[in-house]
Structure 1
Amino acid sequence: MFGPDPDNKEPMQGFPQVGYLKNFIKNENIIVGDYTYYDDPDGPENFEKNVLYHFPFIGDKLIIGKFCAIAKNVTFIMNGANHKTTGFSTYPFQIFANGWETAMPKEGELPYKGDTEIGHDVWIGYDVTIMPGVKIGHGAIIASKAVVTKDVSAYSIVAGNPAKAIKKRFEQVVINELIDIAWWEWPAEKITNNLKAIVECDLSALQNIK
């Protein structure tokens, strides 16, 4: 066998709280890579409830790479949560109409941070909140209950509110090599044949793989 089937909703037979997330996504503006899983005792089908203020007319995307591990209650705040801040009031009068639609913000007046992007092989702990437009690099670890307001570099560990870098998982030269190798893009058979090198940090072995 050359690894599990990424199209299987329940890759751990008899343990339905873990599911390969891409198979549960209905929103076309949420894109999830193979083997990324969501672990929720209430069921992985509930993931989209945690993607808040994601209005289709705004058009921002949540993009999550391959081989990510996402714990229960990870919340993504999208750009629809933003209010105009340049007036005397931040109240969104326009959404209630009945004469208040005249207060509709002009193009560019609402803060817009772009797509939220999670790299490959990212571990996001329980009850993390990720703010609009944040970019999280490959191999990062986001500690439980962190509130991520800024971009996270590859293979960093961040924690706290607001989240701050605790340390790099590896030296920068190793990080650069891992990004260049990009094992997460390999076919399943190649990953299976080289799992030992991946999980035991055998960089020289990974570098010599054809």
Structure 2
Amino acid sequence: MKPLIKKIRIWYLRNIKWRNYKFGKNFYVGLSVYMWARDELKIGDNFYMGRDSQIETDCIIGDNVMIGNKVGLVGKYDHNYQKTGVPMRLAPKIRDEDYDWKGLNQRTIIEDDVWIGYGSIIMSGVTLKKGCIIAAGSVVTKDTEAYTIFGGNPAKKIADRFDSEADLEAHIKAESDFSK
């Protein structure tokens, strides 16, 4: 896509299609991205989300976050599957005004400097801590730790992001200098 067309597309998404949400500077999403939040969607600066990805939950996303292609941020409780006498397909869903079941106050939090790899699924209500990486194809059901790599289904810690404590400390110091 030509640069002018890309700029117009991003302007349209930010200011018309998704005008009820908040976006920081340098916002970019690939083609076929879908976003919906019942109450709140707030995205920080320098955000990138690859094509065919979606956000379908209330979410607060920090600065310098990269989300790969075909990633889903989805709700755990989008349908009241415990409603007695009602098939799940017809049960109240979180999009309904009168929905009063689980999940209403859940927020997915993605802190600064997070990278979510291709094809991952992030369930609502979790926090991806600062500087973490989610390996491609992972399903995240619980909070992560800062500056770690999580992977698998369900995702578990598989490594620290940096090889040594000294490297981590140097990164944190350089990052704070970069932010000033």
Over 3 Å counting, the alpha-carbon distance change for 1:121 and 1:15 in structure 2 is farther
Over 3 Å counting, the alpha-carbon distance change for 1:85 and 1:121 in structure 2 is same
Task: Name the SS of the counterpart of 1:81 in structure 2.
Answer: coil
Computed over aligned residues only, the root mean square deviation of the Cα atoms, in angstroms, reads 4.0
Report sequence identity in percent.
28
Q: Is 2:123 the partner of 1:131?
A: yes
TM-score with structure 2 setting the length: 0.64
Aligned residue among 37, 40, 45 for 1:34? 45
Contact 1:121/1:140 (CA < 8 Å) preserved in 2?
A: yes
Over 3 Å counting, the alpha-carbon distance change for 1:110 and 1:38 in structure 2 is closer
Aligned residue among 102, 109, 123 for 1:117? 109
Deviation of 1:51 after TM superposition, in Å, equals 1.7
Aligned residues: 152
CA distance in 2, matches of 1:136, 1:72: 18
CA distance in 2, matches of 1:184, 1:163: 32
Paired position in structure 2 for 1:77: 74
Aligned residue among 56, 65, 68 for 1:68? 65
More strand per residue: 2
CA distance in 1, matches of 2:10, 2:141: 26
Contact 2:81/2:91 (CA < 8 Å) preserved in 1?
A: no
1:59-114 Cα distance to aligned partner (Å, 9 max, x none) = xx311111111111111103551424485877264549xxxxxxx87x5x425562
Deviation of 1:31 after TM superposition, in Å, equals 1.0
Structure 1 unpaired stretches of 5+: 1-9, 41-45, 55-60, 97-103, 188-210
Deviation of 1:138 after TM superposition, in Å, equals 0.9
Deviant stretches of 4+, over 4 Å: 12-16, 86-90, 171-182
CA distance in 2, matches of 1:180, 1:78: 35
Aligned residue among 148, 151, 155 for 1:156? 148
